[in-house]
Amino acid sequence: ILEGIEWYVAQGFTDGDKLGGTGGSYGGFMTAWAVATSNRFKAAVMVSGICNQWSCHYSCNHDFHEFINGGPLKEKKHRDLAIDRSPLFRLDKPTTPTLIIHGIEDRCTPLGQGQEFYSALLERGCEAELVAYPREGHGFVERNHISDWVGRMVRWMTTYLRG
């Protein structure tokens, strides 16, 4: 993904000093991965993402980990891979201000994932905000919540990408 972004920057299609990243669900996982493994982005918005495959395995309603890591966490090689592929365990010196959006009732990517990532970012001195919406699951349905999180995302990106 980063190679593709660098290609776009090299072609002059985008300003390399004003890159933001966002995604929901698996895209939220990839957003967390980008924040944890790169300082390339000036802002990020993680929506309903996974940051810790180990804890998510025991709290979500599906086995994302067996799918993404090729086997069950009861086997050591898959446990090790789950840790290696968890953004939470890749955070070293994150610098990307990150807005985290989550539904409180989300069982696919439980709120705990957003809470863990938020706390880890703050612990490392990275600016972060967590917004959790009541009555929302993995896909938001309440119009006022959708409007609020889209507005927050626009303000977040505008704040950090204007520079």
Q: Which residues are catalytic?
A: 25, 138
Looking up tokens 């709290």 gives: 59
Residue 67, helix vs strand vs coil: helix
Is 19:41 a contact under the CB 8 Å cutoff? Answer: yes
E strand or H helix that includes residue 15:
none
Beta-sheet strand order (sheet of 43-47): 20-24, 43-47, 98-103, 128-133
Measured between alpha carbons, how far is 158 from 18 in angstroms, rounded to an integer?
A: 10
Amino acid at 124: R
The DSSP call for residue 138 is: S
